[in-house]
Amino acid sequence: MQIINFISIIAMPMIILLIVIYGVGEKNKVFDTFLEGAREGIKTTISILPTLIGLFVAIGALRSSGVLDLIINIAGPVLNIINFPSELMPLAVLRPISGSGSIAVATDIMKNCGVDSLIGKIASTIMGSTETTLYTIAVYTSCVKIKKTRYVLVASLAADIAGIVVSTVTCRILS
């Protein structure tokens, strides 16, 4: 265990040192290249900031309006038919929208159902096999100034649904 702790402590300094050594070996101005990258990073951050603010406001409005509860209540009977645990529905709905919100929901599921329960295992697997789709699309498309995201959104949400279904089926098979 101490060797893992030691490796985790020295990992980042070693990577930085290797990058600097490689840059010096290639006769690059390492610090100037770093400063140029930092400038570009700040420009990118400033350019996507309005998109992020709009997305956070929309997520807050969606969560506080009760729309998520309405969706969960409407989907309840269908979930019972397909044998999808209703405790996971808030996570399945919120995961593509908000990373921090879905972490809070997953944490609540773990507290209520237990980490070793079937529902806890499915929740963990969903968290690892899905993405905060709307956030990711907003950041990436605004960065490269793409306006039409219809097909990206459909494909991404289909991948999230597949991740949720496969997570549920796999955990049920392995439990």
Residue 61 forms part of a structural domain: no
Tell me the C-alpha distance between 159 and 61, whole Å.
Answer: 25
Residue 54 forms part of a structural domain: no
- Same domain? For 36 and 83 the reply is no
- Same domain? For 120 and 170 the reply is yes
Q: Which of 50-64, 110-124, 128-142 has the lowest mean pLDDT?
A: 50-64
Residue 60 forms part of a structural domain: no
Domain with 129 in it: 66-174
Tell me the C-alpha distance between 119 and 111, whole Å.
Answer: 11
- Same domain? For 39 and 106 the reply is no
Report the predicted TM-score, pTM, of the whole model to 2 decimal places: 0.66
Query: Which residue is associated with the tokens 């990118």?
Result: 44
Dihedral (Cα; 117, 88, 171, 132), 10-degree rounding: -120
Output the average pLDDT for the chain.
87
